[in-house]
Structure 1
Amino acid sequence: MSRIPPRLQPLWPLLKRLHRLLAHLGGVLFRRLGPVAGERAVPRTATEESTATVAGEPDAVTLHAGGPAEELRRGPAVGSPPQHWVFVAGERDTVPARYTLEVTDGRLVGEWGATVTPGGVLDYQSSGYFGLSGWREHPVFLAPRLPPVEHVPGTVLSLTTRGTTGNYYHFLYDALARYGIFRECLPDVSVDAVVVPHAAGYQRQLLELAGVPGPHLQPRADRTYRADRLLVPSTPNQDLAAPHWVTNWLRERLPPSGRTDTPRRLYLSRGQQPASRRYVEEAALWPRLERRGFVSLDPGSLSVQEQIDTFAGAEVILAPHGAGLTNLTFCRPGTKVLELFAATYVHLGLWTIADAVGLDYRYLVADGPSREGRPMVGVLDDVSIPPERVEAALDDLMEDR
């Protein structure tokens, strides 16, 4: 989404539907070209579950079991308006059991890390993408052939999946957490390479802090990696559920350093660039926050360890919805959080983290049509809420002892 030019971002819901349609139609045609495309042929079919992938090619695909399925019960979330439909829908989740697929002569396609077996089958369960109704809409079918193939000898571990190349939240909960699954399933296995995004500074810092060994290969839109032995952990956070084992693993793997000089009251600013999910009335609200001892913070300006330390020391956090709130993972239980939303885009991903950690979380949604049942309509809409309403909700949160 962030790669769409700003002038086209309001058209995102339409562009997404077009993207899905083109993948569906392209797949119908391109799957027929397999005999002439050779090793770059798009998958000839797919499985919905990895167990079916194993059953279809038992000589090439093995499933190494990890932890059990997790039933999550949350909430109800507290906020205004009460009982918002997004949070009500998120009160119950089932997270599938964890596993790692081992694929002999497996292929890993594009930035999304789609897993393809030597028999030409897309393992859809480990290759999920945003907002699809099924495997036929996967972007692997948008082109007549797969990207050029690069052979990587030996054992290759994949930590990449949708959203991990450019988003802090998805890198932490979808890429890094996959390493935890791999180690759970295959604790004694060493690898010759790891396919994981590492172009950004925060990605390299997180990989080092979490102890993910190299060499690291960057997932690329113009590349298909073929490995002698491909290891693909299951996707730990496909439905933005923040499973408790993930938050616990991240908190244990990425502890605070013990600093005590960090601010206790944080306001996370998203700047004032329009169509960026900014809080429009920030200038009017800020003097009131400053009088209450808040410090304005851009988490992206800090190192990863500084972000961990800062959130670990916080007592109250106020922010419009954004990836910086992923650092709630490192807060102490009981930390107070108020998250602001536009009426057109309410997202439960940070609430699920807050619930897993045990935070005192509240939400505040701007007035306007809720567009119930259409959660991805206004993804970058700015947040406009009268400062008096924010101030009242914040005071209510801070006074609730």
Structure 2
Amino acid sequence: MRDLSSAVFEDGRAIPFATPLISRMPEVGLGVFRDGRILTDLGFPTTRGGDLLIDAVNVHERSAGRDYEREMRLSAPARLPGVTVNLSSIFTRKNFGHAVLDGLSRLGVLLEAGFELDRVDRIAVPQFRTAGIDLMLARLGFEGERVITLERGANLVCDRLVQTTFPGRPRNYSSAPATMMRAAARPDLSGARRRLMILREGERRTVENRDEVAGLCDEFDLELYDPRASRFALDDFAAAELIVAAHGAALADAPASPPGTAVVELMPDGHRHPYFATLAIASGQRYRALDCASIGDEAHANFRVDVAALRRVLDRL
């Protein structure tokens, strides 16, 4: 059983997550399949006989997210010699958070299982790629011909397919992301640990009173930080002792931070999911959420932060 008692608002109230917290995480592991296949750009893994390895898939509660139930149009089979690890999954082609947490963090499953990464000839990765993702993979030894990107209609037959389970359950994560990220991080620890504030702007779920919230930076020695402006955000997070961040993909690198790091999530009431609460807890970090008011009923609506409440949270850290 996982202790999820810290997944609460700053005032101690339970967070009414839209997706339930999972206190009993299912077993996480891997299998090796001779002539296993990887299908489509979503990386559906099957056995030689065509059976879907459902434990590897992000099994979505809505039928619209269950692409594996629909007919697949496949290219001619292509044989991959040696050992191939599949790092793709549903949603990994869409954004940074899913690509890293649902996909790349499967390397953390391998590391926790004692599977040596130098035994792998190549990895199959999602189409969503950034310079940060490529550097993360390179730090773990995967670049050039050791990385293939899954294309639409992919039909890859692997001599030996190494397939992990999903690294947790949908929207509930195991320790695998932290294991992978900490293995890839090379933080600069020569100075003081960093104290990061990350506020969304110009996208969905923007912090409406951003300037007012940012005014707390001087008061609490916080650095207004944009991970998109960093050469490699993973290293920055790995050097942090405090992270204050709006809910969103910018928090996906937070598991790289050391155990004991304080993580304060600014959580809009129109979009309450336990992605980052479970990530922080599984990573050994101190987690708190600040209840924030969404402006309107749309799930990705902008929201406002109660600055006085955030000040109280920071005062107690």
Q: 1:110 to 1:238 in 2, by over 3 A?
A: farther
Residue 398 of structure 1 aligns to a residue whose secondary structure is helix
Q: 1:283 to 1:122 in 2, by over 3 A?
A: same
CA contact (8 A) 1:259 1:309 kept: no
* C-alpha distance in structure 1 between counterparts of 2:117 and 2:252, whole Å: 30
Structure 2 residue 4 is matched with structure 1 residue 74: yes
RMSD of the TM alignment (CA)? 3.2
Residue aligning to 1:168: 96
1:260-279 per-position Cα deviation (integer Å, ceiling 9, x unaligned): 267x3322122134xx1111
Residue 89 of structure 2 aligns to a residue whose secondary structure is coil
Residue aligning to 1:397: 313
Structure 2 residue 30 is matched with structure 1 residue 99: yes
Structure 2 residue 150 is matched with structure 1 residue 224: no
CA deviation after TM superposition for structure 1 residue 294, in Å: 2.9
Q: Pairwise mapping of residues 309-328 of structure 1 onto structure 2 (< 5 A)? A: 309-328=235-254
CA deviation after TM superposition for structure 1 residue 180, in Å: 3.7
Q: 1:254 to 1:312 in 2, by over 3 A?
A: closer
**Letter matched to residue 114 of structure 1:** F
* C-alpha distance in structure 1 between counterparts of 2:255 and 2:139, whole Å: 15
- How does the TM-score come out when normalised to structure 2? 0.83
* C-alpha distance in structure 1 between counterparts of 2:278 and 2:264, whole Å: 14
* C-alpha distance in structure 2 between counterparts of 1:76 and 1:392, whole Å: 21
* C-alpha distance in structure 2 between counterparts of 1:396 and 1:97, whole Å: 38
Residue 168 of structure 2 aligns to a residue whose secondary structure is coil
CA deviation after TM superposition for structure 1 residue 204, in Å: 0.8
Structure 1 residue ranges without an equivalent (≥5): 1-70, 372-376
Q: 1:125 to 1:269 in 2, by over 3 A?
A: same
Q: Pairwise mapping of residues 143-292 of structure 1 onto structure 2 (< 5 A)? A: 143=71, 145-155=72-82, 156-182=84-110, 184=113, 186-187=115-116, 190-197=119-126, 199-212=129-142, 214-244=145-175, 246-260=177-191, 264-273=194-203, 276-292=204-220
**Letter matched to residue 313 of structure 1:** A
Q: 1:206 to 1:166 in 2, by over 3 A?
A: farther
CA deviation after TM superposition for structure 1 residue 246, in Å: 4.4
CA deviation after TM superposition for structure 1 residue 110, in Å: 1.4
Selected match of 1:303 from 231, 234, 240 = 231
- How does the TM-score come out when normalised to structure 1? 0.68
CA contact (8 A) 1:338 1:362 kept: yes
* C-alpha distance in structure 2 between counterparts of 1:315 and 1:269, whole Å: 17
**Letter matched to residue 140 of structure 2:** A
* C-alpha distance in structure 2 between counterparts of 1:268 and 1:188, whole Å: 33
Structure 2 residue 297 is matched with structure 1 residue 381: no
* C-alpha distance in structure 2 between counterparts of 1:89 and 1:364, whole Å: 18
Residue 187 of structure 2 aligns to a residue whose secondary structure is coil
Q: 1:105 to 1:312 in 2, by over 3 A?
A: closer
* C-alpha distance in structure 2 between counterparts of 1:109 and 1:91, whole Å: 29
**Letter matched to residue 39 of structure 2:** V
* C-alpha distance in structure 1 between counterparts of 2:69 and 2:165, whole Å: 22
Selected match of 1:110 from 40, 61, 64 = 40
**Letter matched to residue 396 of structure 1:** R
**Letter matched to residue 227 of structure 1:** C
* C-alpha distance in structure 2 between counterparts of 1:250 and 1:359, whole Å: 14
Aligned residues: 312
**Letter matched to residue 193 of structure 1:** R
Q: 1:350 to 1:101 in 2, by over 3 A?
A: same
CA deviation after TM superposition for structure 1 residue 85, in Å: 1.9
CA deviation after TM superposition for structure 1 residue 117, in Å: 2.8
Structure 2 residue ranges without an equivalent (≥5): none
Residue aligning to 2:222: 294
Residue 60 of structure 2 aligns to a residue whose secondary structure is coil
Higher relative contact order (CA 8 A, sep 6+): 2
Residue 32 of structure 2 aligns to a residue whose secondary structure is strand
* C-alpha distance in structure 1 between counterparts of 2:315 and 2:165, whole Å: 42
Residue 136 of structure 2 aligns to a residue whose secondary structure is helix
Which one has a larger percent helix, Structure 1 or Structure 2?
1
Identical-residue share of aligned pairs (%): 21
Residue aligning to 2:272: 346
Selected match of 2:16 from 60, 63, 85 = 85
* C-alpha distance in structure 2 between counterparts of 1:244 and 1:191, whole Å: 22
Instruction: Please say which of residues 336-345 and 187-196 is displaced more in the overlay.
Output: 187-196
Rg larger in 1 or in 2?
A: 1
Selected match of 2:283 from 331, 354, 357 = 357
1:69-120 per-position Cα deviation (integer Å, ceiling 9, x unaligned): xx32211423157112229942613232412231x33321112211123323
Q: 1:314 to 1:325 in 2, by over 3 A?
A: same
* C-alpha distance in structure 1 between counterparts of 2:69 and 2:175, whole Å: 34
Q: 1:316 to 1:232 in 2, by over 3 A?
A: closer
* C-alpha distance in structure 1 between counterparts of 2:80 and 2:259, whole Å: 45
